[in-house]
Every structure is written in C-alpha cells, then in structure tokens.
Structure 1
Amino acid sequence: MRYILLAGLSVVSVFNAQAKILYGDIRLTEVTPTNAQVYWKPDAEHKSRYPVPLARKGIAGCAIFKVNLDAQGNTESVVLLHGIPATSLSRPGKKILKKWPWSMTSDTAPQAEEKIVRLDFCLGGQSVEEAQARCKVQASLNCEA
C-alpha cells in the first residue's frame, strides 16, 4: 500500500514493506541557475514517488544534478554532478527529473535554461511529518562526498 502527500516541493511516500512502515520523502531544491535570468521554476504541484527499489533497500541520500531545459520547459538532459551514494541515486534521480514539469517564472519570452538542482531522498521517522522534518534537515547539509 502506498500513499503520497505533496508539501511544497517535498513528496512523501509511505511503504508497507514486510509489515514495517517506511516513510519516504523526496525534496527538490534549486541550487542555482547558471545564467542571471531565471525563466523556469519547478512545478510545486508535481507529485513524484519515492523509488520503490530504493525504499526496499533502505537507501537514502542526496544528489546534485545539472538539468538543461529547452525553450518550452522540457527537460533535455540530466547529468549527475555529486551524490551520496552516487551510484544508487543517479538513475532514479535522472528518471524523476526528466519527468518533473517546469513553470515559467515571468511573462518574458521563454528561453532554454541550465539549472543546478538537488534531490534529497529521505527515509525514516514514525510519521509523514517526521519524514518531512528529517528531509528538511538533510537538505540543509552538504551533499558532496
């Protein structure tokens, strides 16, 4: 049984794996756009599930990606820059970011943009709120090995 709750840019998933409930949260944070003008922002209403293979293995961590968006706000490419653990989070992180919708930030003509974003994959706690609180704390920590 899976439940998903969206809070800001944080997505919480609840897994019942072998009678043990796991609370998982994914938080997307923009580190910085690489150009001065920001044309696109992550859609706050988007719901992304915690990857089931990661939850089953109890894998949590963070990863920083370079995301290239085209002039229509579609994700063209995603490249892992850093991650802890990098090998476990690379593929699920890329998959999540390729599907993440982006919204225009202003009325100016849309343009392609390169962004650096961070995804935090958090597991644990006794409730949805505790998983979100853990992820908020984790997102404030360094994500470079």
Structure 2
Amino acid sequence: MNKFVMISAFALMSLSISSLAKTIYADVQVTDIIPTSHTIWQRENQNTPKYPIKLARSGIRGCAVLAFNISAMGKTENIEVINSLPKKSIAKSARKMLKKWHWVPVSSQQKPRLEKRTIRLDFCLGGKSIEQSQQYCLQQTKLACS
C-alpha cells in the first residue's frame, strides 16, 4: 500500500510539472562585424544556429563578439572572445557553437586559404512566436554588446 501511494504521488507530481511547461521562443542571429566582399568561406549550414538548451533553461540571453580563423581546410580555429554579455555563460556557449561550424569555399575559382573573421552572435529569448522572437533579436543586434 505504501509503495502504491508513493507511485501515485510521483505520477501526480509528474503530471502537474508537465502541465506547467510552457513554450519558450528563442533565436540566434549571426552578424559579420567586418563584412568584406572578398570572403573565401561561408558556413556550410546556413540555417539559424540552435539556441543552447542550457542557456534557454536558465533564461539567459545576450551577445558575444568573436574573432577567429578559418583554416585552409575549412575548420574554425583560434577563437577569441572579444566581448560578451553576460560574460561567462554566453562566451562559453558561443565558443562551443562556433567550434562546431564547418566552412565551405564561396567560389570554386578561389584557392582555399586561411581567413580571419569577426562575428557577433545574439542570443534572444521571448515573444509569443518564433517570428516575434526573431524581431526582438534583430532589434538587439543594433545595441552595443558590452
């Protein structure tokens, strides 16, 4: 009987927690800080990067400015966090995200070589839809990341 009560209590607790779950809309904007017309590389996956689950669960939003190299093999190297807000959590997630990116040549006419890049990543939460979250993020990209 005691075992049954514990199982029933657990089942009720699970139901009430899941009914409290709500949808959180999030967006990540990628902005080239110093865009040039002579870029050699572009991200292989042009889709919007996925918002880190750890940041979303903690309700953390912010931005990071990162400098890095793209090797002649299309790998991200030498990532340097120039600035981030909030400092530790966004910087760590931004570096981790950027390390996973693969790059492909923009043109088959150019010989692949090392390229230095600087980008800004904006991590945005909120709104009643993904579209609204994207609008918030576009507004955030116009603010200072410091």
Q: TM-score, normalised by structure 2?
A: 0.78
Select the structure that is richer in strand: 1
Where does structure 2 lack aligned partners over 5 or more consecutive residues? Answer: 1-17
Structure 2: how far apart are the matches of 1:65 and 1:18? 37
1:56 deviates by: 1.0
Q: Is this contact kept in 2: 1:46–1:101, CA < 8 A?
A: no
In terms of mean alpha carbon deviation, does 86-95 or 16-25 score higher? 16-25
Choose from 132, 138, 141 the match for 2:140: 138
Secondary structure of the residue aligned to 1:22 is coil
AA in 2 matched with 1:56: R
Distance 1:49 1:68, change over 3 A: same
Q: Per-residue deviation at 1:44?
A: 5.1
Alpha-carbon distance, 1:67 to partner: 1.4
Give the Cα–Cα distance (whole angstroms) in 2 for the partners of residues 47 and 134 of structure 1: 15
Q: Which has the larger radius of gyration?
A: 2
Partners of 1:36 and 1:130 lie apart in 2 by: 31
CA distance in 2, matches of 1:28, 1:77: 18
Distance 1:126 1:41, change over 3 A: same
Provide the alpha-carbon RMSD of the alignment: 2.2
- Give the match for residue 113 of structure 2: 111
User: Is residue 49 from structure 1 mapped to residue 54 from structure 2 by the alignment?
Assistant: no
For these two proteins, the number of residue pairs brought into alignment is 128
C-alpha contact 1:62 1:85 (8 A) present in aligned 2: yes
C-alpha deviation, 1:71, in angstroms: 0.5
- Given that 2:28 and 2:48 are in contact with CA atoms closer than 8 Å, whether structure 1 keeps it comes out as no
TM-score (norm 1): 0.79
Unaligned runs of 5+ in 1: 1-15
Q: Percent identity?
A: 38
* 1:19-75 Cα distance to aligned partner (Å, 9 max, x none): 122101111111126x88421123453453211111111000000001111002111
Look up the match of 2:31: 29
1:68 and 1:112 in contact (8 A); partners too: yes
**Structure-2 separation of matches of 1:17 and 1:90:** 33
Higher-helix-fraction structure: 2
Contact map agreement 1:73 1:101 (CA 8 A) in 2: yes
C-alpha displacement of 1:131: 0.7
After superposition, the Cα gap between the structure-2 partners of 1:83 and 1:76, relative to the gap in structure 1 and judged at 3 Å, is same
